Amino acid sequence: MTLLGIAVVIIGFALRFNPLLVVVVAGIVTGLAGNLPVEKILAIFGEAFVKNRYLPLFMLTLPVIGLLERNGLKEQALALIGKIKAATTGRLLILYLFIRELAAAIGLTALGGHAQLVRPLIAPMAEAAAENKYGPLPESTRNKIKAFSASADNVGLFFGEDIFIAFGAILLMKGFFEQNGIILEPLHIAVWGIPTAIAAFIIHGTRLFLLDRKIQREVECGAAGNKQVKELNKHAY
């Protein structure tokens, strides 16, 4: 009987009813099938709402970014990077890696992200920097630049947040050590994350620095290949 809620979800989604309504009805049905009083079911819904009251704000991120892109956000970013002659893809991504890791180290993990910053700004600017220097890019090179843009965000966030003393993983380690009789302050654990974060920045920063050479080689190989194709077509006719 307690599985009736799953049936409600399946039927509701199959009939294309409002997803929020389907989930709410499924929760009520599951609670009634489990012999929970109505007051208890309402209390559970209220508790879930309080815990997730900031979720709608997060869900607004994608529509807002979409509207900004539609109104020229990407074009403005491309124009900005085009004015900076010294900008290269590698240098731009190294700078973003540094900012992302430093911000995460002081708890500003929301400063950045794939949906909020990488996709609409960082990746297009990195592509534009390469185009300004090497001209039109092969599709494989564009995909590589996008991948490195995403990796700069991932590495910066992952290793930067390990330095922040209020990060969940640090508190988890503190609790684990205390259960085994080892008393450590969160600050002591966080300090040991600094060498790892520095090493991550140096290693990935080196990969980003070498990215410019890879882009140049790929563009030159692509140009040489196109030239050979044109020569073959010329002789064929």
- 178-225 pLDDT, tens per residue? 888 888 887 888 888 899 999 999 999 999 999 999 999 888 887 665
Whether residue 24 contacts residue 46, with contact meaning beta carbons closer than 8 Å, is answered with: no
pLDDT band at 170 (very low <50, low <70, confident <90, very high): confident
Return the percentage of the chain with pLDDT > 70, whole number: 78
Please check whether residues 73 and 48 belong to one and the same domain: no
SS3 194: helix
Please check whether residues 71 and 24 belong to one and the same domain: no
pLDDT at 161: 87
Please check whether residues 13 and 125 belong to one and the same domain: no
Please check whether residues 40 and 78 belong to one and the same domain: no
The total of other beta-carbon atoms located within 10 Å of residue 124's CB is 21
pLDDT band at 229 (very low <50, low <70, confident <90, very high): very low
Rounded Cα gap, residues 4 and 9, in angstroms: 9
Say which residues have a Cβ less than 8 Å from residue 167's Cβ, sequence separation at least 6. Answer: 107, 161, 190
Rounded Cα gap, residues 70 and 101, in angstroms: 29
Compute the Cα dihedral for 32, 36, 42, 45 and give only its sign. Answer: negative
Tokens of 23: 């989930």
Please check whether residues 44 and 18 belong to one and the same domain: yes
pLDDT at 35: 82
Please check whether residues 12 and 101 belong to one and the same domain: no
Please provide residue 218's backbone torsions phi and psi, each rounded to the nearest 5 degrees.
Answer: -65, -40
Please check whether residues 41 and 122 belong to one and the same domain: no
pLDDT at 137: 86
139-160 and 89-105 are packed helices; what angle lies between their axes, rounded to 10 degrees?
Answer: 20
Please check whether residues 74 and 178 belong to one and the same domain: yes
Please check whether residues 25 and 79 belong to one and the same domain: no
User: For the chain, what is the domain count?
Assistant: 2
How many CA atoms lie within 13 Å of 137's alpha carbon, on the beta-carbon side? 23
Please check whether residues 168 and 213 belong to one and the same domain: yes
Please check whether residues 20 and 136 belong to one and the same domain: no
Rounded Cα gap, residues 190 and 186, in angstroms: 6
Alpha helix (H) ranges present in the chain?
4-14, 19-33, 38-51, 55-59, 61-70, 73-83, 89-105, 123-134, 139-160, 168-179, 186-191, 193-236
Please check whether residues 83 and 187 belong to one and the same domain: yes
Range of the domain at 16: 4-53
